[in-house]
Amino acid sequence: MSPVAAERGAAGAAPVGEPAAAERAPRLPRTPLGFCLRYMRVYLGFVLAMIVFEAGQSVCSIMLPYAIKRIMDAVAAAQAAGGAVWPLVEQPLWLFAGLNLGIVLCSRASGALLVILGPELRRRVRRELFVYLQHHSQRYFMSNFAGALANRLAEVAQSVAHTLWTVLFDFWPLAISFVVSLVLLAGVSTDLALVLGGWVAAYVSISYLLALRCRRYARDYAAARSLVSGKIVDSVSNVMNAKLFARREHERRYLDGYLDLEVARARETFWFMERIRWFQFLAAMLLMLGIIGYALAIWSTGGMSAGAFAMAASLALLLIEQARGLSRRFLEFFEYIGNINDGVTMIVRPHEVVDAAGAVPLVVTRGEVGFEHVSFAYTPERPVFEGLSLSFRAGERVGLVGYSGSGKSTLVNLMLRLFEPQAGRILVDGQDIAGVTQESLRAAIAMIPQDPMLFHRTLMENIRYGRLDASDDEVIEAARRAHAHDFIMATEQGYASLVGERGVKLSGGQRQRIALARAILKRAPILLLDEATSALDSVTEREIQHSLEFLMRDRTVVVIAHRLSTLAHLDRIVVFHEGRVIEDGSHDELLARDGHYAHMWHMQAGGFLPESEAGERQARALAG
Ligand SMILES: Nc1ncnc2c1ncn2[C@@H]1O[C@H](COP(=O)(O)OP(=O)(O)OP(=O)(O)O)[C@@H](O)[C@H]1O
Ligand SMILES: [Mg+2]
C-alpha cells in the first residue's frame, strides 16, 4: 500500500469523500413565463386556493350594489303596499350582511395564504438559483461580478413573487368584477350591459397599449438610475484618488452631469404617466356620464326601478375605482417580467464544466498525475498549452518555474478542472478527471492559490473550512503549524475575529498562512501550492518551511514559486516557457546542465526572478 493510502487508514482505496453537498443543479426554465409557471406548479394548492378566495372576495364586493338594489326595491314595494317594511327587507339585508362577511373572510384567508407562501416562494427561487449558480464554471465567475449576481438573485425572487401577486390580486379580481358587473347590468338592461362591455374592452386595450409605450421611458429611466448608482460606487471606491489629486470638486461636477440625465429621464417618464392619467380620468368620466345618463333615461321611461338605477351607478363607481391603476399595473407587470428575463438570461445558462453522465467518484490510491497531449486556450487566438505531456509520480515533490504568464497557474487550474482542456487528457491514478465527479476530484486536492481569499467569517470558521468536522484543538494545531497562531491571538477577538470582506483586514502574508492552515487540515493526497509563500518575508518563510515539509510528507506536491530558493530542495524542478516544458530534473542536475534554470538561479538577486525577459536583460545590464 502506498503511503497515501496507508495514511488514509482503513478507508484505503475508498473514494475520497464525496461531500454530502453534491446537490445536483436544478433544471430551470429559460423563459420568464416558464420560470413563473414552474413555481406556480410547485405551489399549485396555494395558488388555486388563492384564486378561489380572491374570486370570492371580488364577487362579494361587486355584488354589494346588487344587494342595495334589492333593499331599495323592497322598501319601495313595502311603501307602495303600505305594509310593514321588515318582512320584505329581511332577506336582502341578510344578503348584504352575508356579502360583507364574505369579503372579510375571503380577503383574510387569502391574506393568510400570502403570509405563508410569499416568503417561502422567494426563498425557494433564490435558493434554486443559488444552487444553479454554484455549478457554473470559473470562467463564468470571472466575467460576472459577485455583487451583480447576488442582486439578480434577489431581484428575480422578488419579481417572480410580484408577477404572481399582480395576476392573483390585480388582474384576476378585476376580470371577475368586470364579468359580474356585466351579468348584473344585463339583468336590468341589455343596452346598459353593452355600453359597459364596450367601455371595458376599449379601456383594457388602451391601457395595455399605453403601458407598452411607456415601457421605453421606464427602461431609459431605470438605466439612468443605475448609471448614477454605478458612478457613485466608482467615485466612492476611488475616494482615495479624489483626495490624493484634490479632485473632489471635479468628482461633484462629474456626478452632476449624470444626475441631470436622471432628472431628464424621470421627467419624460412621469410626463408620459401623466398622459396616461389624463386618459384614465377622462375614461372614468365618460363611463360615469354614459352609464348614469343612459340609466336615467331608461328609469325616466319606467324601464327600471330606482334600486336598479342605484345599482348601475354604484357599479360604475366601483369599477372605476378598481380599474384606475390598470396601466400602471401593466407597466409593473412588464417590469417584473423584464427583471425575470434579465436574471434568467444571466444565471440560467448551460453549465460549462459538468460531471459526465455516469461520473464516478475519484479513487486516489497513490496520487499520480499525468497530462497527456493537453491543449488549452482561454481564448482561441491565444493558446497556453499545445500538446503538453507531463507527469508527476506518486509522492513526488515538483517545483514549477517559469516567467510570469508562462502557464503555471493554468496547469494547476486544469488539474482542478476549473477549466477544461480542448484536447488531451489529464489522469489522476489512471482515471481521466473528465470522467470523475468534480466534487471528489477537488476533495482529493488541497490547493493554496496565488491570492487566497477568505470568507467574511471568523478566523476559526475560515480555517475549519479545510475540514468541517475538525475540533477547535485541531484547528488551533493547524494554525500553529502554519505560524498563524501568534498573529491570530494578537487580534482583538482571537479566533473569533472577523477578517473583512475577502479577508481585507489581514495582510497578504497573514492570508497565506490562514490558507496554509486550512490546507493542513484538509489532508488531501495531492497538494498544489501556487506561490503559497510569496507574500512572506524570507524569515517567516524559512520558519514555515518545516511545517511545509510536514504537509508535503507522503503526498504528491506541485509547488509554484518565483523565489527559486523555495524550490531548490524539492525532488524535481520543471521549467516552463510559453506553455512548454524546456527543462526537467533535480536542482543539482539543472544547475549542472547550465541551461535556463541555472541561468535564472544565478540571476536571482535576493532570491527573486526578474518579471520578464526584458526585466532580466535589464538586470543583466545592471549587473554587468
Ligand atoms: N482567465 C483568463 N482568461 C484569459 N487569459 C488568461 C486567464 N488567466 C490567465 N490567462 C493568460 O494565460 C497565460 C498563462 O497565465 P498563468 O496565470 O497560467 O501564468 P503564470 O505562469 O501562473 O503566471 P504568474 O507567474 O504571473 O502567476 C497568460 O498569458 C495569461 O494572460
Ligand atoms: Mg500564476
Q: Provide the pLDDT for residue 177.
A: 94
8 A C-beta contact, residue 414 and residue 138: no
Give per-residue pLDDT as tens, 307-335: 898 998 899 888 888 888 888 898 899 88
Does 621 score more than 70 pLDDT?
A: no
Give per-residue pLDDT as tens, 270-294: 999 899 989 999 999 999 999 989 9
Q: How confident is the model at residue 551 (pLDDT cuts 50, 70, 90)?
A: confident
Question: What is the position in ligand 1's atom list of the atom closest to the CA of 579?
Answer: 14
Closest listed ligand to the CA of 410: 1
d(CA 473, CA 18): 25
Q: Is 595 exposed, middle or buried (0-12, 13-18, 19+ CB in 10 A)?
A: middle
Does 172 score more than 90 pLDDT?
A: yes
Does 21 score more than 70 pLDDT?
A: no
Span 99-128, average pLDDT: 96
Helix-, strand-, coil-residue percentages of the chain, each rounded to 5: 65, 10, 25
Nearest CA to 305 out of 101, 92, 97, 95 is that of: 92
Q: Provide the pLDDT for residue 127.
A: 95
8 A C-beta contact, residue 185 and residue 177: no
DSSP 48-66: HHHHHHHHHHHHHHHHHHH
Cell output for 182:
356585466
Span 429-457, average pLDDT: 91
User: Where do the CATH 1.20.1560.10 domains begin and end in the chain?
Assistant: 32-347
Does 4 score more than 80 pLDDT?
A: no
8 A C-beta contact, residue 406 and residue 581: no
| Mutation probe of ligand 1 site: the residue of 138, 381, 410 with most atoms within 8 A of C-beta | 410
Question: What is the position in ligand 1's atom list of the atom closest to the CA of 413?
Answer: 18
For residue 376, the CA-to-ligand 2 centroid distance in Å is 16
Residue nearest to atom 3 of ligand 1 (CA): 378
Q: Provide the pLDDT for residue 230.
A: 86
- Chain centroid offset of residue 439 CA: 21
Q: Which residues line ligand 1 (CB under 6 A)?
A: 142, 378-379, 384, 402, 404-410, 450
d(CA 102, CA 108): 10
Does 188 score more than 50 pLDDT?
A: yes
For residue 530, the CA-to-ligand 2 centroid distance in Å is 7
Q: Provide the pLDDT for residue 594.
A: 87
Span 474-489, average pLDDT: 92
Cell output for 210:
399605453
3-state secondary structure of 301: coil
d(CA 430, CA 364): 9
8 A C-beta contact, residue 57 and residue 103: yes
**Exposure letters 540-555 (e unless 16+ CB within 10 A, then b):** ebeebeebbeebbeeb
For residue 13, the CA-to-ligand 2 centroid distance in Å is 32
8 A C-beta contact, residue 300 and residue 255: no
Provide the residues around ligand 2 (an ion) whose CB is within 5 A. Answer: 409
8 A C-beta contact, residue 65 and residue 311: yes
Q: Which residue has the cell 512548454?
A: 580
Closest listed ligand to the CA of 562: 1
Question: What is the position in ligand 1's atom list of the atom closest to the CA of 379?
Answer: 4
Does 15 score more than 50 pLDDT?
A: no
Does 616 score more than 70 pLDDT?
A: no
Helix or strand run (H / E) with residue 388: strand 383-392
User: Where do the CATH 3.40.50.300 domains begin and end in the chain?
Assistant: 453-523
Lowest mean pLDDT among 3-7, 115-119, 306-310, 576-580: 3-7
**Exposure letters 279-318 (e unless 16+ CB within 10 A, then b):** ebeebbeebeebbbebbeebbeeeebbebbbbbbbbbbbb
Span 65-76, average pLDDT: 92
Please list, in sequence order, all residues whose beta carbon lies within 8 angstroms of the beta carbon of residue 477, skipping any fewer than 6 positions away: none
Q: How confident is the model at residue 361 (pLDDT cuts 50, 70, 90)?
A: very high
8 A C-beta contact, residue 137 and residue 351: yes
Q: Provide the pLDDT for residue 237.
A: 84
For residue 581, the CA-to-ligand 2 centroid distance in Å is 16
For residue 451, the CA-to-ligand 2 centroid distance in Å is 9
* Architecture of the 32-347 domain: Up-down Bundle (1.20)
Sign of the CA dihedral running 86, 88, 94, 95: negative
As a whole-number percent, the residues of the chain with pLDDT over 90 amount to 56
d(CA 441, CA 412): 13
C-alpha atoms less than 13 angstroms from C-alpha of 237 in its C-beta half-sphere = 5
DSSP state of 609: -
d(CA 375, CA 383): 8
Give per-residue pLDDT as tens, 591-612: 899 888 988 888 875 445 555 5
Does 447 score more than 50 pLDDT?
A: yes
DSSP 328-355: HHHHHHHHHHHHHHHHHHHHSSPPSS-P
453-523: CATH number: 3.40.50.300
* pTM for the predicted model, two decimal places: 0.83
8 A C-beta contact, residue 386 and residue 375: yes
Q: Mean pLDDT for the chain?
A: 88
Q: Which residue has the cell 475549519?
A: 464
Cell output for 218:
421606464
For residue 562, the CA-to-ligand 2 centroid distance in Å is 10
Give per-residue pLDDT as tens, 519-550: 999 989 999 999 888 877 877 787 777 778 87
Please list, in sequence order, all residues whose beta carbon lies within 8 angstroms of the beta carbon of residue 263, skipping any fewer than 6 positions away: none
Does 211 score more than 60 pLDDT?
A: yes
d(CA 537, CA 317): 80
Adjacent-strand bridge partners of 371: 390, 426
Does 20 score more than 70 pLDDT?
A: no
Residue nearest to atom 11 of ligand 1 (CA): 405
